[in-house]
Structure 1
């Protein structure tokens, strides 16, 4: 049995979905492509894991095979998509730090968005397609975990699937190091460079650097650990061709909790993969959920709701509710209720 009740993960997974979606509207308005991709992929991955954990709590019944086909394919894509979103963020920060011109044309901005979309959506979709080449059977169902993709352990899997997050993480880390180096060299020009990006100030720039850096710190070690587990937990089989790998493709393997908990490597792999998504959501909200623009949007939302129900927040609301002291000063206009 699991060492903790499964509803705990379900609660955190749903919370991760909410936390990822809260800052999305104002980041979409600012056209921060990499940040939006990070939020969308992380939020949907949390929602996907939440649904799986609820439906398959205490059972391994194949309730929804079509859902599992979609869910497992999305898992494959999201495992690469989050490092790709971090790569988009690091690329943008690098080009800002090394820009020779202060101004950027609309064509430049449009081109940058298209490149980000190609990286943040194109690569994950390509990964979903390539994984099918070494997909030994349809999918697995683990009690409490839900649907999970299966990749036949051959050398082809390491080329097409397993090593992608590590490679992308290393590229992203290279950009991050070059960005820090460029920033140190051109510190005096930094504010001037940021002036060309109306949606990016110094605080947001450094928060993006911290977010991308944190993602790299986790992605590279976890990718190495995943490769190590794949190599050591089972024998790497020879690649005998498409027909051999897909010979029993429609099979669905089902693993009760007492079975999959017998293998420590399986437990670590499954639990790490699903909790990592939740951690990404929490880390993102930690960096951006309490920023100045976030507090401004919270105040606007609360003011809007207050007006609809006939309440007045008063002029002091914005300056006291989100202060570091934690004091709240809300004035209610009772005249509207008379």
Structure 2
């Protein structure tokens, strides 16, 4: 997996950047935050896979402190952003007064708080059930340590599950879809010039639901592996934030390796859901074509430059000059 992990992670990190300018123009802070979080975590996964290939030493303590916290924060960042998307779409489909400047400022403030403030608080609260500074796994990098106790259920695993199920209830169970189905024709007629068309509405709801389903799967997998030996008594909990545990691939249990691979695969799947549902729209396809054209121009530029350098070197050698 040491070839697939960095390659697919870097590809995912690059792809999730394409929709961000469109979401920025549309003022969709929640959708922008999903792309930003996916970019950050995919980049971390790729760098860690390259840095710790065949190694499990800790050369960069500060890097591990930051990355393990960010990987932890994304567990609630994505479902929180998806919940904000569904709340905003429901208000638009029910024709609430979303165009007022006061309401828009409140929505932006709420989405910034939910998409960035809540994940950082969640990552900070993780220290309650953190027995040591972090763990380092060969070929995977740094991960936060979790003491498997009842407190960890409420601090680590219940918040992302609760936000995910709230998103599903808010969207799939009827609230968002019910307003859209009841007012779908009126929505299409009254918002013809809006960036949020009926097709974009459906894609955003579908993206939110697919993202939280992936979050539920990742949370259940992590919870089942961490609690496979049962809940530990809180009385036995000890904390030493100077301790760092390192595990070689041979010393890492197969269940932990399977959990790490599953978490990485789910993150890649979330990235492809994010970009795939965006590309289904006309705006997404045009932006992707523009990006492909830019990449082709960049590649052709470097190709022409390398050809010119090779020709100049050949000319210099033929004339008896040795290039520096």
Shorter-chain TM-score tier:
0.7 to 0.9
1:172 Cα deviation from its structure 2 partner: 0.6
Partner of 1:275: 265
- Offset from partner CA, 1:160-211 (integer Å, 9 cap, x none): 112211111011111112111222222332224645x833111211111111
Residue 220 of structure 1 aligns to a residue in which SS?
helix
| C-alpha contact 1:84 1:120 (8 A) present in aligned 2 | yes
Whole-Å separation in 1 of the counterparts to 2:160 and 2:69: 16
Deviates more, 1:276-285 or 1:209-218: 209-218
Relative distance call for 1:170 and 1:306 in structure 2 (3 A) is closer
Partner of 1:263: 254
| C-alpha contact 1:152 1:245 (8 A) present in aligned 2 | no
Whole-Å separation in 1 of the counterparts to 2:88 and 2:48: 35
| C-alpha contact 2:80 2:114 (8 A) present in aligned 1 | yes
Whole-Å separation in 2 of the counterparts to 1:110 and 1:69: 34
- The answer to whether residue 133 in structure 2 is matched with residue 142 in structure 1 is no
- The answer to whether residue 195 in structure 2 is matched with residue 199 in structure 1 is yes
**Superposition RMSD on alpha carbons, in Å?**
2.6
Partner of 2:75: 79
Equivalenced residue count is: 299
Whole-Å separation in 2 of the counterparts to 1:229 and 1:295: 40
- The answer to whether residue 61 in structure 2 is matched with residue 65 in structure 1 is yes
Deviates more, 1:62-71 or 1:80-89: 80-89
1:234 Cα deviation from its structure 2 partner: 2.4
Runs of 5+ consecutive residues of structure 1 not aligned to the other structure = 312-338
Partner of 1:245: 238
Partner of 2:181: 184
| C-alpha contact 2:26 2:195 (8 A) present in aligned 1 | yes
Residue 99 of structure 1 aligns to a residue in which SS?
coil
Partner of 1:94: 90
| C-alpha contact 2:184 2:198 (8 A) present in aligned 1 | no
Whole-Å separation in 1 of the counterparts to 2:230 and 2:244: 21
Runs of 5+ consecutive residues of structure 2 not aligned to the other structure = 302-324
Whole-Å separation in 2 of the counterparts to 1:170 and 1:124: 17
Whole-Å separation in 1 of the counterparts to 2:295 and 2:13: 23
| C-alpha contact 1:134 1:245 (8 A) present in aligned 2 | no
Deviates more, 1:31-40 or 1:270-279: 270-279
Relative distance call for 1:258 and 1:292 in structure 2 (3 A) is same
Residue 251 of structure 1 aligns to a residue in which SS?
strand
Residue 16 of structure 2 aligns to a residue in which SS?
helix
Partner of 1:254: 246
Q: TM-score, normalised by structure 1?
A: 0.81
- Offset from partner CA, 1:250-269 (integer Å, 9 cap, x none): 11111111221x432x1232
Whole-Å separation in 2 of the counterparts to 1:251 and 1:23: 41
Relative distance call for 1:299 and 1:223 in structure 2 (3 A) is closer
- The answer to whether residue 112 in structure 2 is matched with residue 122 in structure 1 is no
Partner of 1:208: 204
Residue 58 of structure 1 aligns to a residue in which SS?
coil
Whole-Å separation in 2 of the counterparts to 1:80 and 1:100: 27
